[in-house]
Chains A and B, each alone.
Chain A
Amino acid sequence: MRGFYSRKIHSLLGVIPLAFFFIEHMLTNFSAVEKGADGFKDSVLWLNSLPLVFFLELLFIWLPLMYHGVYGLYIAYQSKPNLNRYNLERNWRYTLQRVSGIVTFVFIIWHLYETRVQVALGNVTHEELGGVMHEIVPQPLWLAFYIVGIVAACFHFANGLWSFLVSWGITIGPRSQRVSSYICMGLFVLVTFMFLLSLVTFRDSEFKTAEAIAEAVNTVIQVRE
């Protein structure tokens, strides 16, 4: 009985709230593409001006993320991939869902350390987050790391929606599962494109912030190296 509920909660939290937050994050980032550095700053500030923002973050991001991530690692550990025997599209997605989950787990921890944790420590303010990204993106290795992390997260999100629909008995027959596959893989491409577009936008010099901030960023980078 415990296994059933813990797995159901894992599945539910993946969509509510995590998938919704993922979309929200994508839109916030995209404001950098649409409205530039000021637009991005406004979006970040708006999000952080929500009432009880600490509890919103705790209940709708931190705790669900921790549960989904840790339980997900356990699910990945329990699998025994057999692509050599069954080189099939669904089996590939099954395997990639687990691989992308692990990659996303590592990526999110690092990304949070660079951004949210630095804000919490007082090294960076919310207004300066665009500047932090501006410092990271021109470095080829870190750009590659971010691209891999983003693609993994986007795949995990889109394919996770597909399997959520199966696991909750919404898409039952082969046709509905095929159509939802097309929709979810289309979503994967779209979401990846939007995130990557935002990522390269952070290269623009308008995201460069004052020298003092750059110094704070440098300390982060030095810690990382």
Chain B
Amino acid sequence: MAETAAASKNVKFIITRQDDPQSAPYTEEFNLPYRPGMNVISALMEIQRNPVNAKGEATVPVCWESNCLEEVCGACSMVINGKPRQACAALIDNLEQPIRVEPMSTFPVVRDLIIDRTRMFNALKKVKAWIPIDGTYDLGPGPRMAEKKRQWAYELSKCMTCGVCLEACPNVNAKTDFIGPAAISQVRLFNAHPTGEMNADERLEALMTDGGIEGCGNSQNCVRACPKGIPLTTSIAEINKQTTKHMFKRWLGM
């Protein structure tokens, strides 16, 4: 559009708000002055600076969470125009108006757009998504990793625990305890590491408990939704292979 009067242009927002974890959600509309290059975070900052809704009433500023502002921390994930994504990377110029902003309600809502992603960090603890090298003496250098392997493993390490894949998954909901794609992909990452591999079975067994890998229903939304382009479904299928192998080995006592 060849809009010349850019200064007077407004951007309309419909934001789903919630005052506390127990209260009912409601929507509030905002009309904000357009500025070139603005994104959803800068719009929320504008509301914070001048908390007046579309009706001209003074209101409480909308709460949200954000840190890095460059799509690497995962804190500002929210549902924007129906799709879960990072607010800092959601440019207003690329969005259809009115812009609908909601919290990712797969997670408990703390307030407004702030959600509690504790379950994801608990999932990483459950699957032991780390490499245990702590001890009382120097263990020396570990085995080396092939460059080729490092390259694809690096892609998996881009996961920022943002929760978009869980929000996109039809099997992560109140009726299941499915751990979600992110933690499964981390098991693949740490099982691929030459030192991490030494504890591979522990991670596989964690995923073979209730709410583990069996919860995947192959809808494959996660791989399409992931903002970092992590091959989540390849990770899930690979861990399917590893857990299946582990199951047979354990039966046979190998």
Q: Do A and B come from one complex?
A: yes
Residues in B with CB closer than 8 Å to A177 are 233, 237
B241 touches A86 (CB 8 A): no
Which single member of B210, B219, B243, B244 contacts A3 (CB below 8 Å)?
B210
Residues in A with CB closer than 8 Å to B208 are 1, 4
Which single member of A75, A77, A171 contacts B237 (CB below 8 Å)?
A171
B170 touches A167 (CB 8 A): no
Q: Which of A23-31, A39-47, A87-95 contacts B (4 or more CB under 8 A)?
A: A87-95
Chain A 161-191 near chain B by CB (<8 Å), digits 1 or 0: 0010011111111100100000000000000
**Complex alpha-carbon distance, A174 and B170, angstroms:** 20
A94 touches B219 (CB 8 A): yes
B214 touches A169 (CB 8 A): no
B173 touches A90 (CB 8 A): no
The chain B residue with its CB closest to the CB of A169 is B241
Which single member of A82, A167, A168, A172 contacts B168 (CB below 8 Å)?
A82
Chain B 213-250 near chain A by CB (<8 Å), digits 1 or 0: 11111111100110000010110111111111101000
**Complex alpha-carbon distance, A75 and B224, angstroms:** 23
A126 at the interface (CB under 8 A from B): no
Chain A 64-98 near chain B by CB (<8 Å), digits 1 or 0: 00000000000101111110111010110011010
Residues in B with CB closer than 8 Å to A90 are 218-221
Smallest Cβ distance from A95 to chain B, in angstroms?
8
**Complex alpha-carbon distance, A84 and B79, angstroms:** 14
B175 touches A172 (CB 8 A): no
B126 at the interface (CB under 8 A from A): no
A3 touches B211 (CB 8 A): yes
Which residues 51-85 of B have a CB within 8 angstroms of A? 82-83
A2 at the interface (CB under 8 A from B): yes
**Complex alpha-carbon distance, A163 and B239, angstroms:** 14
B209 at the interface (CB under 8 A from A): yes
Residues in B with CB closer than 8 Å to A95 are 170, 219
Smallest Cβ distance from B67 to chain A, in angstroms?
26
B170 touches A81 (CB 8 A): yes
**Complex alpha-carbon distance, A79 and B216, angstroms:** 10
B171 touches A79 (CB 8 A): yes
Residues of B at under 8 Å CB distance from A? 82-83, 168, 170-171, 173, 175-176, 208-221, 224-225, 231, 233-234, 236-245, 247
List 9 additional contacts besides A7-B214, A88-B221; criterion CB under 8 Å: A4-B209, A8-B244, A82-B221, A88-B220, A90-B219, A94-B170, A168-B244, A169-B244, A172-B238
A-B contact pairs, 15 of them (CB 8 A): A4-B208, A4-B210, A4-B243, A6-B214, A80-B173, A84-B82, A90-B220, A94-B217, A166-B237, A169-B241, A169-B244, A170-B241, A171-B237, A173-B234, A174-B234
